[in-house]
Amino acid sequence: MNGNIGYYDRKIECMPRSEMEVLQGERLKEIVKRVYETVPRYRAKMDAIKLKPSDINSLEDISKLPFTEKQDLRDSYPYGMFSAPIKDIVRLHASSATTGKLTVVGYTKKDLDIWAEAVARCLVMTGATPESIVHVAYGYGLFTGGLGMHYGIEKLGATAVPVSSGNTQKQLQLLQDFGPEIICCTPSYAIYLAEAMKEEGVDPASLKLRAGIFGAEPWSEAMRQAIESKLHIKAYDIYGLSEICGPGVACECEMQKGMHINEDHYFPEILDADTLEPIYEDNEEGELVFTTLTKEGIPLIRYRTHDLASVTREKCECGRTLVRLNKISGRTDDMLIIRGVNVFPSQIESVLLKCVGVEPHYHIYVDRVNNLDTLEIHVEMSEKLFSDEAKVVEQLREKLTADIASAIGVHAKIKLVSPRTLPRSEGKAKHTTDYRKGKI
Ligand code: DLL
């Protein structure tokens, strides 16, 4: 046990496993009862398999429950899965869904309080105290990153600097002038900031920065080492998804050996990605599935994240008993994360299908250039457009660029290519080439 480490909530964070499981079992019973009574979709799913809330009596019974998918949220857009009346919802957030519609989540006052507490625990895991100044460069808005970290910082009694994303010059100035001890942003932006400092002649060692809390996209151990050496800080991994709360589902402690899951609120399961049978062995990889145990606004039962990961239940050297999530190693679906924004190829496809002049034959190229993600989409022109004047083609390209940016929230370079030049596939179409793999 490291004597220098504090906890935000020692009782929960260091609770013996047997006690934690009793607590989780009790909460599970309550939440199942709640969704059965208040969310018609859950009642229908349970009725369909003849499952009653009274059949759920302990944690082991969780495997009897049906799964929840992003599609369920889409089908009940915007508020159909809410378990609390709108008058009790005090905040909405949203993230990309597979096509068109967003995945909307709503929080009651209690939900916001618990989320802030979860983030406060994460901050303390990385060594933050009420004296810390924390620079938040995650986006503020419908994305949960900025506001999620912000309220956790305030909950801890530390000082939040709500810079939001973008405007690198200003970020550099505030990092120098305000003297934050911790920075929160995506890991790729951290690398970008380090390069910008080099160009501007800012010596990272002259800053007060000591740690970074990075997440919202996958990153490797090599990337951690690069960030730590370039910025002279410790780089901690934080995981979350808007459907469960946002950042704060899990975070690394100072041991940097896996992210402690706030499992008294967000219960994890690892399932075999093909059979969806539970995997009980530590460090064995599968799909990560969460059940929210205390949420009121939009509780989710066995929500399939489609993230691939493993957990370890062994007690950590920091003293915490909270189960640890190993680094996310990939996804079971085709979701891309580009500059922290979740993008599904099907969102791009639905824009193309509505656009006269192009065919729904496309290929997406993702790369990382100068430490920033780039997105280029090759789209086949129709025969008619191909025979049109260059001006007409350029106008269509500009329109597509704008339509795609508005659909996915990220700028893409659009290249219109000649008819029938993109490869056709006989089986499942492969729409994406990601050159970032293997690059830090
Ligand atoms: O990205 C919430 C968040 C904000 C987490 C800031 C951490 C920091 P969504 O936009 O809903 O929410 O995206 C969730 O992002 O299912 C993962 O695929 C990916 N992701 C999030 N954190 C990590 C991480 C936020 N630390 C999706 N490592 C998730 C790898 C991550 N992937």
pLDDT at 100: 61
How would you label 141-169 residue by residue, b for 16+ Cβ within 10 Å and e otherwise? eebbbbbbbbbbbebbebbbbebbbeebe
CB atoms within 10 A of CB 200: 12
Find the 241 Cα to ligand 1 centroid distance in Å. 5
pLDDT at 437: 79
pTM above 0.85, yes or no: yes
| Mutate-to-test residue for ligand 1 from 310, 337, 373, highest number of ligand atoms within 8 A of CB | 337
Find the 216 Cα to ligand 1 centroid distance in Å. 3
Element (H, E) at 279: none
Output the tens digit of pLDDT for each of the chain's 440 residues.
344 569 999 999 999 999 999 999 999 999 999 999 999 999 999 999 999 999 999 999 999 999 999 999 999 999 999 999 999 999 999 987 666 678 999 999 999 999 999 999 999 999 999 999 999 999 999 999 999 999 999 999 999 999 999 999 999 999 999 999 999 999 999 999 999 999 999 999 999 999 999 999 999 999 999 999 999 999 999 999 999 999 999 999 999 999 999 999 999 999 999 999 999 999 999 999 999 999 999 999 999 999 999 999 999 999 999 999 999 999 999 999 999 899 999 899 999 989 999 998 999 999 999 888 999 999 999 999 999 999 999 999 999 999 999 999 999 999 999 999 998 877 777 899 999 977 76
Rounded to the nearest 10°, the torsion over CA 24, 283, 330, 302 is -20
Find the 308 Cα to ligand 1 centroid distance in Å. 12
Cβ burial, residue 384 (10 Å; 0-12/13-18/19+)? exposed
**What does each C-alpha distance from 89 to 112, 146, 151, 265, 290 come to in angstroms?**
10, 19, 17, 19, 22
pLDDT at 102: 87
Strands 182-185 and 211-215 turn out to be parallel
pLDDT at 146: 97
Q: Whose CA is closest to atom 29 on ligand 1?
A: 241
Q: What is the rounded distance in angstroms from the CA atom of residue 212 to the CA atom of residue 269?
A: 28
Find the 215 Cα to ligand 1 centroid distance in Å. 6
pLDDT at 3: 43
Q: What is the rounded distance in angstroms from the CA atom of residue 148 to the CA atom of residue 134?
A: 13
Helix (H, G, I), strand (E, B) or coil at 367: strand
Give the atom of ligand 1 at the shortest distance from the alpha carbon of 328.
30
Within 6 Å (CB) of ligand 1, which residues are found?
A: 95, 138, 143-145, 215-218, 237-242, 246-247, 305, 307, 328, 337, 342
pLDDT at 137: 97
